[in-house]
Structure 1
Amino acid sequence: MPLITNEAPQLMKKEASLLELPEAILDNILERLSPIELCSMSEVCTCLIGRCRSNVLWEKHVQRRWGRLLGDVAYREWQFHVMRIMNKESPSLQRNPEGLLGSFTGAWPFLCLCSYLENPGDLASLLLSNYSNMALYVSLQRGRFWFPAQVYRMTPFQLPRRYNGLLSYEHVSNTFQARCPTDEWRLIEKNITWDRLRLPPIHTSPYTLYVSNNNDLKPGDHVEVQMRKGSRTYDWCYGVIDHLESCDKDMNNHCSCEHSEMLVVSFKLQYSQWKSIAIKKEANGEQKIGLWKIGGIRKLEDLEDIRRWNTEHHMQISSLSYYV
């Protein structure tokens, strides 16, 4: 005799699929995922690969994480590597996909390394599928793309300065390492924090003299000065235009510094000390002042540039206190 029960048979419930969501909602969900989560999501099924690797999605992650360090020059260098990989123009790439891919400018002995890419062959599949922004993010995060930027450095008993370098990210320590793009490229500075880095404000080789109009400078202007000492390459040092010794420093009535043939630049050294030099305004080419060779002068118009120079100076002072 069959068993009679009062229980109704349970209905089978169909679970909703992620792919059944409206496209706008799905895109909104993907935009909220981190890069690691996007990579994991792209492996769920073939339908999600294109969405999770799209250039639009990864461009936002590139800008969010690297935007303040990647300028037009760095993007042009990246596109140079992309085209060479896609066109298979590099003999080293064909012979050894785990090698290096670099670009240079200038001529020996003033040859300058613009950027380089480690293990370029690994990126071919992403680039051939037109996922270049994801490839860029991965290359930066893994420290394989060495891109141009400027590094702030302050060493004991020397002028604080910024030098042009090629940067590579160290994800374990969340710091960078830098190579000089010139004849000192074998030297590597490590453990560089984010706050010591910036975009190059102008696109010029560290070998190139910056052309400036010094006649527009007046006392009180904040400037960056090209300087070199015992090297063929320029660094940038921060200074303030000062009055001549013969001036009574009365800007309203009697200051004649703007009409002088000479220009006084005061540099901030360690522990609030200052060092001043006098240079000719209309000199063509660099000028030699003691052991230093002075190049072009760039007037700082942006208050953020001035603030960062002074902030970095005070931060580095504390780290050098053991030299006192």
Structure 2
Amino acid sequence: MSQENISIIKNYDSSKISWLKSGGPISQFIKIKNLDDLKKNTQIASNQNIISIGNFSNLLIKDKGFNGIAIKLGGDFAKIKFENDIIVVGSAVLDNYFSKYCYQNSIQGYEFLFTIPGTVGGNIYMNAGCYGKEIKDYLISVIFYDMKSKEVKEEKIENLDFTYRRGFQKKNTIILYGKFKKISGNKTKIKKQMELYEQNRNDTQPQRVNCCGSIFKNPPNHNAWKLIKLSLDESFYEGPIRLSKKHSNFFENDPNISADKVIKFIETIKSKVNQKYQIILDQELIIV
């Protein structure tokens, strides 16, 4: 493999960067800063399992580990630029940074991203959203690398099937950039909206703890947090891994809790809700 602009770590302990502070080893963890190195490394490793990771806020590696390559983009993919009335955003850009960048340039619509802990690439993958907004509402197109054809391609949003918490998930691809609408707005109003969203998050969600965000998607016509709260007793809000007392669709855990215990906790919650309401919750947390 080319060593220029690349950092390769073998048997990488994923708990070091997981927001849950849990998770097994990754066979090869690679940081890549430009397209040339991405092409070289995915071509050499074409017969291996490859995943692209963002901010590790919504991902858990099983205790047995991931036998493959985890690619973390940075460098060229952590930049934002304007192309006329379009914003081109690298997949490695943090949602919080993108939101602040838009504020600084008097661009409205992206205030909701201020409270989302992931990256733009992860956002596009999951069609993340909150406060009644989703990334697809502002996305124009996705630029991605096709590992089979070894080409950079672009797909417009109208040709993609984005649904609730499911975005661009084509197999054998790595999201490189998103193109977004540039909508001019009032800087004072944008700032005020960001502050309101931030205050709401601080009031209703756990802060400064090991937490991965919402555990489950909301089922049709239901709130996941309410189903969980009505299905589980107080014992689930105590212990080394526990539901948040602020929000029942969030859980907190002490450092170094095994991934297997996290998974078992999630499955127990699903089982309890299903027993009481005959509803199978679909988790947001990605487990590999």
Which TM bucket (shorter chain)? Answer: under 0.3
Task: Compare CA radii of gyration and give the structure with the larger one.
Answer: 1
TM-score (ref. length: structure 2): 0.24
Higher RCO by CA contacts (8 Å cutoff, separation 6 or greater):
2
